[in-house]
Every structure is written in structure tokens, then in C-alpha cells.
A and B are shown apart, each in its own frame.
Chain A
Amino acid sequence: MTRVTTTWATQETTSAALGALAAEGATGALSGERGIVYLSAGRVVHAESAFTPDLGALLTRSGAVPSDGWWDAVDRGGAQHRVGHRLVDSGRLAAGALEVCHLGALFDAAYFVLAHDTRAHRFRPGAVHWLGAVRSVPVDAVVRESDRRRALLDRIHPDPAIDTVPLTRVPGAGRPGLPARRGRTLTQVDGVRTAAQIASSLACRTYHILVDLRRLAADGLVAAAPPTAPQTAPVPAPGPDPAGTGWDDPDTALLRRLRDALEAL
């Protein structure tokens, strides 16, 4: 196993820390402010962020995999980090379809981890994601794609807050003939939900929703929801866990998913 030095910790940004770990061929999990990137032998194998629905949510909510089929795979394959293999081996999903969905979820989460490119929090050497190996992507490809997405979104409407905060429809704004997908996204904007929650309810990749929402914001149809006052419950925004520490632990992440699934019933 490659010995991992602490060079990553001296880097100013998460993307630079990823670059340093890639150069060492590191395996483990790097936590940034908005999520975790999993590396295997210096390549990105998975990414998770509280700002995007995870692979399980995408697969089950789209109906591609029945909910109990997903949980069965998590039960049987989770401990050996082979949930992905389980899904394919049990015939629930074609290998190619799993890879396509996995890459979608990986790049969606990586965008959030890298768009807010602050100093990385910590690195857990040897940590492996329970999904297991599906596909790996070079670190520089992930960083480059995240940069490109950020630039594309900013070109549509330069307000990154739209990506993360609860959104509301602008009162009185007309609804001229919107393209079907954008219209569907607009119907989900209710003053409470964030882009991630809209993506989850439409079972759609988050980046696609971000593009729609930035366009709607540019057209003056959608804006950040004003904070609800007085607060009766803990502040839900910007993500389920503002401290960004609790879900660092894989078991907590699993519990969070379990809670989401129960709520979805």
C-alpha cells in the first residue's frame, strides 16, 4: 500500500489537496466543506455531498431499482463494499446503466465539493466507500469538469447561492412558454426546497436541475427564498448538516440515507 504523506494538508484548496493525493497514488476519503471524495490508487472512485441526492436516491426514486432491492444490495454487499456488484450480479441493473448513474452522481457531488473550494478538512487513509468499485476517474478530469460546470452555470446566471439555498417563485412573474423540463423544475420550487431536494423528487441528476434553476433565476422567475422568521425549528439551510462534520462518518451517512428512505415511504 502506498504511504500517504501529509502534503495534502498544506494545500490551500480541496482541489489542490486532491492533486497532491493523486500524485501519491493515495487511497482513502478526503473531506471538504461540502462533501467527501473517495480515492483509490490516486483516482476518484466516488464522491458524496449533502447538496446532491446520492446514487441510491436516484436509482430508487426513478424506479430503476425497487427500494427493497436497493436495500437488499446494501444489506448484503455493504460490509464487503460491494453494493454496486450486488446490484448487477442480482440482475437488478445492467452494468452499463450502473456506471452511467454512478458517474452522474460522482460528478454532481464533486461539483459541490470543488465549487466551494476551501481548504480540505481531513483525509482518512484507506477508507473505502460501501458502494465499491464501479468506475474510476482521474483527479484532473474531475477538477477540470467541475471548473467547466461552474463556468457554464455562472455564464447562465452568476449567483452560486441558487445551487444550495431554499428557492421561491418570484410573485407576479409571468410564465412564458417554458421548455418542458424547465417548466417541470419550476413546479417543484415551493419556497422550502433546495436544488438537491428538487433533483431528488424528480429523480434527476442535480447538475441538470442547477442549469434549469439558474436559467429560471436569470429569467426572473426564481429567487432565493427569504429566511423564514421566527425560526421554530433548527435552520435547515444550506444543507442537512451545516457543520459538515456529522456525515463524515460512513455509518452516519448510512443512517442519513435510511432516514431519507423512511421519509420517502
Chain B
Amino acid sequence: MANLETSLKECLSSIDGASAAALVDYTSGMALGTLGGTKEFNLEVAAAGNTDVVRAKLRTMEHLGLKEEIEDILITLSTQYHMIRLLRGRGGNGLFLYLVLDASRANLAMARHQLRRIEAELEV
């Protein structure tokens, strides 16, 4: 059974075009685990910043009275995709997986499918 580190490794090895991954607590903005960050791309900073994205969307949905849950948030840059996938499950409450993908190599549908499988290993 996969632990946190192997789950993140699996994100990078099994998802085409994935270059960095992090598991983040969006109440505190803390990254519980990161893999693939570089000096130029600080994953801790990305984790904290994307926490604000998730919180803003959740707040907006509350203002709109939407009772739905966020499955994922996709941010499309010129050469990259940033995918934020919220974990469900009792213990996973308040966590998201953050994935950086190379837009020229990634297959978004496949990436979503693979992430769903990997996140099942992290859910309580």
C-alpha cells in the first residue's frame, strides 16, 4: 500500500507530463508532502498561494448558495497546466493534491483519471 511519498512519486511517474506534486492542507496552507520542486519553482510557495485559490472558490460557492463540492480546479498557463484536486473522505477533509503538468505532453482526461486512483490511497 502506498504511503505519502510513494503516492507523490506515482503522480510524477504515472501521469504524463507531470513535473511537480504536493499534498496541501488548505486551512493552514501547509504542504504535508512535496515532490519535484526546484529552486526556480518553490512548491511551498505554490502550496500556500494555491490555498488562497481554493479558499476563494469555496467562499464564492458559499455566497452563491451552491451546495456542490469542488472536484478539481484547472489553471491553464501558456506552457503548463496546474491542477488542484480536492480530496474527499473523512480524514482527507481539507486537503488538496496540487499537480504541475507540461501542457505539450499532458493528457488532462488521463491525468484526472490517474489522480483519482492515487488519491484513493491517501483517503481515510
Interface residues of A, Cβ cutoff 8 Å to B: 58-59, 62-64, 88, 93-101, 103-104, 107, 135, 145, 148-149, 152, 177, 179-180, 203-205, 207-208, 211
A207 to B29 CA separation, bound complex (whole angstroms): 12
21 example contacts (A-B, Cβ-Cβ < 8 A) are as follows A64-B91, A94-B121, A94-B122, A95-B1, A95-B121, A96-B6, A96-B7, A97-B92, A99-B3, A100-B32, A100-B122, A100-B124, A101-B124, A135-B4, A145-B30, A149-B28, A177-B62, A179-B62, A205-B27, A205-B94, A207-B27
Residue from A59, A148, A179 within 8 A of B124 (CB atoms): A59
- Judge whether B90 and A104 touch: CB under 8 Å: no
- Judge whether A148 and B28 touch: CB under 8 Å: yes
Least CB distance, B32 to chain A, in whole angstroms? 5
Residue from B1, B7, B25, B32 within 8 A of A88 (CB atoms): B1
Prevailing SS type, chain B contact patch: loop
Least CB distance, A50 to chain B, in whole angstroms? 21
- Judge whether B91 and A62 touch: CB under 8 Å: yes
Least CB distance, A166 to chain B, in whole angstroms? 23
- Judge whether B28 and A97 touch: CB under 8 Å: no
- B42 contacts the other chain (Cβ, under 8 Å)? no
Least CB distance, B13 to chain A, in whole angstroms? 16
Residue from B4, B29, B62, B90 within 8 A of A96 (CB atoms): B4
* Given known A-B contacts A64-B124, A101-B124, A94 and B91 have beta carbons under 8 A apart: no
Chain B contact-residue range equals 20 to 34
CB closest residue in chain B, given A58: B91
Cβ contacts under 8 Å, B123 to chain A: 94, 97
Cβ contacts under 8 Å, A96 to chain B: 1-4, 6-7, 121-122
CB closest residue in chain B, given A211: B27
Cβ contacts under 8 Å, B94 to chain A: 205, 208
Most central of B7, B29, B59, B124 by chain A CB within 10 Å: B124
